[in-house]
Chains A and B, each alone.
Chain A
Amino acid sequence: MHIPDGFINAGTSAGAAVIAAGGVSVAVKKTSDYMEDKQVPLAGLTAAFVFAVQMLNFPVAAGTSGHLLGGALAAILVGPWAGALCVTVVLIVQAFFADGGITALGLNILDMSFITALGGYALFVGLRRVLPKQRWSIVIASGIAAGVSVVLSSLAFFVQFTVGGNVDLRLGSVLAAMVGVHTLVGVGEGVITAATVGLVLGVRPDLVYGARDLATRLELKPQVRTAGGLS
């Protein structure tokens, strides 16, 4: 859920905006290094994908449903910086359609883009270190990373709220509510991310950035002549 205008005080929002702007410029630099002139169309289409996938609702529990954040998913599929960049662009565009306030854009970018994409990816890499070098461990790692990234994102919101919340709430209860709800959402996010990564691994393994080390080099094989052949 996006933070609207006025939820967090102006100073904190401005600080977050400065940090986010710095992060975005790093992300632009990092992605242009390896995407080169493909950067604009590929990142644009991936952003459109993230935008569409956020409309996917999945059942959480007892009739409620959540929707995918997609930050960790994008990071695992196209790389952490590119993923962060795509989700950031989605958030900017959503802000112009009044989903999340313009002044809260920096806060939203930090929570939902950088924390989920970079944090989720770091976790993914860490998990892959301990898991065996197999396909299934990529699926497991992406599921756990995506699930935890949602909780991390809610924790980041809690930090912002502690620093610049406009309401004096019992911080403990805010923390409990945020983390409680997002653990549920995180389970869904994790399951869907894992299954999605699994499918892409099966169909186009070369497209999964997080599994590049598993890619086998294509090799030339001697031509096989079929017995009868076509006449």
Chain B
Amino acid sequence: MVATPREAFWAYGVYAGLIVSLTLNARVPLRSLIRRLAIETPFLIFVVALPFLARGERIDVVGLSLSVEGLWGAWNILVKATLGAATVMLLASTTPITSILYGLQKLRVPSVIVAIAGFMIRYADVIASEMRRMKVGRQSRGYEPRVLWQVRALASSAGTLFIRSYERGERVHLAMMSRGYSGTMPELAAVEASPTDWLRAFLVPAVAAVICVLAWL
């Protein structure tokens, strides 16, 4: 998708159609997908600024002088980022995180990385809630920082959070040792992909690749 030329409007239409049909097929509500796309908002600001900032040939649109190159660039980033984000969200909302991790392992991502990522995901919520409780604590003491030199309390929270996380890591390690951990993680529930699974998995990327090639022709 990223390699598709930006002039091929129809190709992006087909990509979008592909994602929408997958979404419907997976019974993921379209509205929740769209709402989650809000994560992109900071980039939209940059994208909107592009036509004004880029150089090159300029055209007049409703009284504003815009750069043609900037408009193309903005369109290019907008459509690719949005479609890319939508695809990933579809994956995240249809596939449990353990399956994604298992898939990564099968795809030869180093097992250490997969194991660390697994731990991070498992404990991210614990640590984040710990941080939220500290935030409630700070706020209930009337902490409302406005300027940078008031951030001392934030920093002590961060430091305390690090010590707690690290010590939790040490405890987890001891717990793992006492359960017979010897340096490698046990295999996650093994699922073998059958040839039909592979075929099904390759269907959509294959279609996308064909579109990309056609768009270049």
Does A103 lie within 8 Å of B166, measured CB to CB? no
Stretch at the interface among B21-29, B79-87, B193-201: B79-87
- A218 to B86, alpha carbons, bound, how many Å? 55
- A51 to B162, alpha carbons, bound, how many Å? 11
- Shortest CB–CB separation between residue B148 and chain A, in angstroms? 6
Q: A168-B69, A204-B166 are in contact. List 12 more A-B contacts (CB 8 A).
A: A4-B40, A10-B3, A38-B170, A42-B170, A44-B117, A44-B119, A48-B128, A49-B161, A92-B117, A167-B54, A169-B73, A191-B155
Also in contact, A44 and B69, with CB within 8 A (given A5-B85, A7-B77, A7-B81): no
Does B110 lie within 8 Å of A28, measured CB to CB? yes
Does A25 lie within 8 Å of B110, measured CB to CB? yes
B106 at the interface (CB under 8 A from A): no
Does B77 lie within 8 Å of A93, measured CB to CB? no
Stretch at the interface among A53-61, A110-118, A152-160, A223-231: A53-61
B1 at the interface (CB under 8 A from A): yes
- A48 to B3, alpha carbons, bound, how many Å? 33
A216 at the interface (CB under 8 A from B): no
B42 at the interface (CB under 8 A from A): yes
B: interface residue count bin: 35 or more
Does B127 lie within 8 Å of A51, measured CB to CB? yes
- A sample of 13 cross-chain residue pairs with beta-carbon separation below 8 angstroms, ordered by A number, consists of A37-B181, A44-B120, A45-B165, A51-B124, A56-B157, A93-B121, A95-B88, A96-B91, A96-B92, A168-B54, A192-B151, A199-B159, A200-B162
- A95 to B107, alpha carbons, bound, how many Å? 17
0/1 interface trace, chain A 1-29, chain B, CB 8 Å (1 if under): 10011110010010000000000110010
Does A44 lie within 8 Å of B127, measured CB to CB? no
| CB-contact partner of A47 in B2, B119, B156, B168, under 8 A | B119
Does B79 lie within 8 Å of A6, measured CB to CB? yes
Does A48 lie within 8 Å of B84, measured CB to CB? no
| CB-contact partner of A48 in B6, B127, B155, under 8 A | B127
Q: Report chain A residues within 8 Å CB of B127.
A: 45, 48-49, 51-52
- Shortest CB–CB separation between residue A10 and chain B, in angstroms? 4
- A28 to B115, alpha carbons, bound, how many Å? 12
B217 at the interface (CB under 8 A from A): no
- A204 to B160, alpha carbons, bound, how many Å? 10
Does B166 lie within 8 Å of A97, measured CB to CB? no
Does B55 lie within 8 Å of A170, measured CB to CB? yes
